Amino acid sequence: MKRHGIIAVIVAMALGFGLVGCGGGGAKAQTELTTTTVGQQLLDLQKAYEAGALSKGEYEKEKQKILSGK
């Protein structure tokens, strides 16, 4: 009989410890703001163009967007 009481206490403790992790709240939302200068944007665009990732037309279009601030 005493053995059942010890087992019940152990089971209750195990369940209690298991529920501690169910409290939630562990997720954090983070927002990261990065600012890039116009010069850096142009350099990155030029590198993409030179690497062949953009056509001449795409390069010129994106370059005008950067320069106009849009």
The DSSP result for 43-68, as a single string, is HHHHHHHHTTSS-HHHHHHHHHHHHH
Does this model's pTM top 0.75? My answer is: no
The string of pLDDT tens digits covering residues 45-63 is 999 999 999 999 999 999 9
- pLDDT for 28 equals 80
The string of pLDDT tens digits covering residues 1-39 is 566 566 666 666 666 666 555 555 677 877 777 788 999
Please indicate whether residue 66 or residue 32 has the higher confidence score (pLDDT). Answer: 66
Residues contacting 36, CB < 8 A, separation 6+: 44
